[in-house]
Chains A and B, each alone.
Chain A
Amino acid sequence: MSDANRPPPTLHWVGPVIAWAIIMCALVGVVLLGVYGSGDLRFGGALGLAAVMLLTLAFGLVGVADEPPLMRLVAGAAFMFLALMFFLSFVDLVTRIRYH
């Protein structure tokens, strides 16, 4: 098929927009927790929603799943450090419960 007859390439924008909408919903959830939530619900909820936002960003906007295997490995290692950070935040929560 010649260049002239080839259909113009399509812009795939739906996936990123859906990812953006999911992150926005999670953001609204975090704000509601900040205003109306209390105690452990606010702490755990905000942590969980932040993880949802991060994963949606990684897979929906960055497109980690479409990267070559080597890049996925490096990305996985990078996000493992973030997971470690969340784990330590969880340890912080447990420590606070023990203090009380």
Chain B
Amino acid sequence: MSESAINASAGIALPDPLREPWSDIARQREAATFGMWLFLMSEMLFFGAVFMAFSFTRALNVAEFQHAARHTEIVYGAPNTFVLVTSSLAMTIAVRAANIANRRLCARLLGATAILGFVFLVIKGLEYKDDLEHHLYPTLHFALGHNATQIFWAFYWIMTGIHAFHLTVGVGLVSRLTWLVHRNQLSLRSPQLEVTSLYWHLVDAFWIVLFPVLYVMGRG
């Protein structure tokens, strides 16, 4: 039995996911997904520029960047990668659960995604606290001394900070979806699920690149 039939028999009236100017939900979904891909492309350009600046600066200050990178904590970075990739798995299966009209499973997996995203932010916060305590931020009291090591740590704070901001937005979006799906206030055919899922995967993809660049490669 379809979701609409189940809801109709239960007397639940879900808001219609179809919006102006679309004539059917398939076209609306295609347009929303296309719009999100264009947004993701602009985000990739933005992050790409930061990565390129990092690469060029590193090429000019190899020894200093290696010295600075040895002070990053892989014991925070690796578990965070595990947490974020697992959240992407939960998000993917949540969308698939929505496609087969399994509302309960979809809500639970969306909730798991939001919680894992929050766990990532908590671990990141603990790492930031350690970094601050060790004076690993570019100021007069910087712990490592040499100017070029400060550039590495400036990149570290900028790149991980921008990523954490994106993830915070993602946690907010997924939490909202979890609430709406749980409370039966969002149709499982709504393009919001797929579009939010794409955004979440983008945030995951950026971290997958950030982790080896900041925590592993610099140690060579």
Contacts and interface: CB of A to CB of B under 8 A. Distances in A.
Nearest to B211: A30
A35 interface: yes
Interface stretch (B11-19, B158-166, B197-205): B197-205
A30 to B, nearest CB: 5
Contact of B82 (A24, A33, A81): A24
Contact of A82 (B2, B209, B216): B209
Contacts of B105: 11
B124 to A, nearest CB: 17
Interface string B1-35: 11001000000000000000000000000100110
Given A30-B211, A46-B216, A96-B59, A85 B48 contact: yes
A81 B48 CA distance: 7
B151 to A, nearest CB: 14
Interface residues of B, number: 52
A92 B92 contact: no
A68 B27 CA distance: 12
Q: Contact residue range for chain A?
A: 35 or more
A22 to B, nearest CB: 10
Nearest to A20: B89
Contact of A61 (B2, B33, B92): B92
A43 B217 contact: yes
B195 to A, nearest CB: 12
Interface stretch (B94-102, B114-122, B125-133): B94-102
B74 A50 contact: no
Interface of B: 1-2, 5, 30, 33-34, 37-38, 40-41, 44-45, 48, 51-52, 55-56, 58-59, 62, 74, 78, 81-82, 85-86, 88-89, 91-93, 96-97, 99-102, 105, 198, 201, 204-205, 208-209, 211-213, 215-217, 219-220
Interface of A: 3-4, 8-13, 16-17, 19-20, 23-24, 27, 30-31, 33-35, 37-40, 42-43, 46-47, 49-50, 53-54, 57-58, 61-63, 67-68, 70-71, 74-75, 77-78, 81-82, 84-85, 88-89, 91-92, 95-96, 99
List of 4 A-B pairs having minimum Cβ-Cβ separation, nearest first: A9-B100, A46-B212, A34-B216, A74-B37
